Structure formats: structure tokens, C-alpha cells
Amino acid sequence: MTKQELGEELYSRKNGVLKGIDSSLTGELETGKNLLAIKKGRLYRAESPHMPSFGYWVEGEMGISRSVANRKIDVYLKWGELLAKSDFTSISYEKLVLLSKVVTDKTSEDEKRDLLHMAQDQTLTGLRNNIRERQNKVATDVCSHKEENQELWNKCKTCGKFWR
């Protein structure tokens, strides 16, 4: 392949990836929206009036862990309405999960929009570092990694377990 053909192939594939990200984001938000409705309305009890909890139902019937289900609900609650009325198609669900850590009930829509603009064109590593800085923590790209702050770990080549 020529360099131009490689560039055209990359452009085509990159657009395919962006379309996939957009559709997966839509799917994740739809999942969160429906899980929230099931949880709030206690609709899971329709399968059995003695169903002990949403967590029990979501793990048993949907095959989703409680923590993943709650994360999907949290992302929907924090970003669903804003994303429905704006165009942030190139932002990934993973970035929304990271941003959700710094968003509270008191975060305004303008602040959320600013966070989305900040995250839109960043790598996940760059976004993690920006979030660390917002939380007054040292970002990995500015840490000097002094020797006294380092830890050594062992890893078993057979099972992959880590220990000190």
C-alpha cells in the first residue's frame, strides 16, 4: 500500500471507530436509564414478589454486577440529559465514567459542559491526570517518581499474582 492508501484506510477506519463509540455511548446511556427505572420502580419484583433486592435481580437475571449496574445508572444520572441535548459524539463512555468522579449534585450544567469540552479531545491518561490535579493530587505526568516513593513488587509468571 502507498502512504496515501494507508492514510485513506486509516481515515475510514477511524471514522468507523468514532461511529462505534457514538453508538456504544448511546447504548450505555440507554442501559443506565432503564436500569434506573427498574431500580426506582422496583420493577424487578414483577418476576418474583420475594425478589430480595435490585442487586440480586441484576446479577441473577441480567448477568451484570451490582457495581457495574450502579455505575451505569450514575453515568446516566450525571450525563444523560446533557448529552441528549448536545453534540459530544466523540466522547467515550470510559471518559464519562472518569468524569463522574468529579461531578456532584451541586455541579452546574455549565461546569459539566466545560468538563465534557476538556475531556473530548484528551487521551484517557491525560484525562486521568487532569482529574487528579482537580482533586489536588499529583498527576503521573508531573511526578518525579523519587526512589524513596517507589515500591517493588513480585509477580508469579505462572498465575500472575502480585505481592511485595
Residue range 11-65, pLDDT digits in tens? 899 888 878 877 888 899 999 999 999 999 999 988 888 888 999 999 999 999 9
> 29-44: b or e for each residue (b if 16 or more CB lie within 10 Å)?
bebbbebbebbeeeeb
- Per-residue model confidence (pLDDT) at position 68: 96
What is the predicted pLDDT for the residue at 152?
A: 86
Residue 152: is it exposed, middle or buried by C-beta count within 10 angstroms (0-12/13-18/19+)? exposed
CB-count burial class (<10 Å; 0-12, 13-18, 19+) for 96 = buried
How confident is residue 89, by pLDDT bands cut at 50, 70 and 90? Answer: low
Q: Are 89 and 18 in contact (CB under 8 A)?
A: yes
> Looking at residue 34, what is its pLDDT?
96
pLDDT at residue 108, rounded to an integer:
93
Give the rounded distance of the alpha carbon of 14 from its chain centre.
Answer: 20
Q: What would the grid cell of residue 18 be?
A: 468514532
Nearest by Cα to 75 from 94, 56, 57: 94
Q: Alpha carbon of 137 to those of 69, 128, 130, 133: distances in Å?
A: 28, 11, 10, 5
pLDDT at 121 (0 to 100): 83
- The mean pLDDT value for 60-86 works out to 93
pTM (predicted TM-score):
0.78
pLDDT tens-digit series, residues 103-156? 998 999 999 999 999 898 899 999 999 999 888 888 888 877 888 888 889 999
